[in-house]
Every structure is written in structure tokens, then in C-alpha cells.
Amino acid sequence: MNESKLGIYSPWVIYVKQLEALFGKDPAVKIVYDNDLPKVSLYVDGQEKADAIAKILPITKQFGNITLHIEVIPSNTDKSAVDILVDAFKGNPVLSYVQKIETSGMLENTIFVVFKNFVTQYVSDNLFDVNGLTSCLLQDIAGEVIEIDADVRYCTDLPINTTV
């Protein structure tokens, strides 16, 4: 019989797991979590990519009386929201594409970040899963993790050979 890995995780630890799900497969990003502070550091190869990731993540995230500090090494520069998102996910195998739609009406100047079509899992305090795993799409994680001053929609790409 398999031993369960079910545990109770603090909300800031789950947030770090979400960051790992979103950026952990990218060979240019290394994520290090320090529970004592609490602080998560994202070591990013390339100034341009590091700047872009730093622009879309908050510096701190509040969880009740606990503040998680988020550090991206190296630091920020000014770019458009589309360029920032493209740079942040450049080379990351989870991204399909980023597209800006300029139309009138409700979707004026909307940026769509489209992730590849697969479900990701991370260990969480999910009592509905025997192993304590949370399963979701990357678009859901991106909506919770990324903070950027732009009208951004996170989507999942259609499976190959699918028509609408």
C-alpha cells in the first residue's frame, strides 16, 4: 500500500508551489524558498527575463500575519506589458504564445497569455486527493500569482488537431 504524502501546508508555501508550477520547468529559472524568513528567490538567467518576471510578480504577498518576500535576481526595467510577459516566459516550455488584441469595446488592448494544454500538479493541503495534490491548469495559477498593471487574460491552448 502506498503511503500518503498528505499534509497541511501554509498558504505561503502553497503560493511557492504555484510559482514552482508556473516557472519551475523553465531552465533559465531556479526557485529557492527560505521558510525561516519566509522568502522565495527566483534566480533568473538573463537580465531581460529577470526584469520581466520581476515586473509581473509582487515584491511581497500577505497571508494573514505572514509576509512572503519575493525576490527576483537581477532587478527591474521599464517595458510594455506585452514585452514583459514575453520576456518572462521566453524559453519556458509551458507557454504557447502571448498576443495583444487591439479592438474597440470590452476587450480593448487586452493581452492574452496562452499556456500549453496540460494539467499541472503540486503538493498542497488538498483533502480531496489521497496524495494531497492540487491539479489545475497553468492559466489558473497565473491568475493567482502574476500581478501586472494591464488587462491580461490567461488561457489554455487548444489540443493539437482541434478546431473551434
Return all residues near 10 (Cβ < 8 A) that are at least 6 apart: 63, 66
Is residue 163 included in any domain, yes or no? no
Domain count, the chain: 1
Is residue 138 included in any domain, yes or no? yes
Is residue 49 included in any domain, yes or no? yes
Give pTM, 2 decimals: 0.68
Q: Mind spelling out the 3-state secondary structure of the chain? A: CCCCCCCCCCHHHHHHHHHHHHHCCCCCEEEEEECCCCEEEEEECCHHHHHHHHHHCCCEEEECCEEEEEEEECCCCCCCHHHHHHHHHCCCCCEEEEEEECCCCCCCCEEEEEECCCEEEEECCCCCCCCCEEEEEHHHHHHHHCCCCCCEEEEECCCCCCCC
CB 115 within 8 A of CB 94: yes
Is residue 36 included in any domain, yes or no? yes
Is residue 76 included in any domain, yes or no? yes
Cβ-count burial 33-62 (b if 16+ within 10 Å, e if not)? beeeebbbbbebeeebbbbbbbbbbeeebe
pLDDT in tens, the chain (164 residues): 455 567 788 999 999 999 999 999 999 999 999 988 899 999 998 888 999 999 999 999 999 999 999 999 874 556 778 888 998 999 999 999 999 887 666 656 789 999 999 899 999 888 888 888 999 999 999 999 999 888 899 999 987 776 65
Compute the residue count for the chain.
164
Is residue 19 included in any domain, yes or no? yes
What is the domain extent for residue 97? 11-156
Is residue 2 included in any domain, yes or no? no
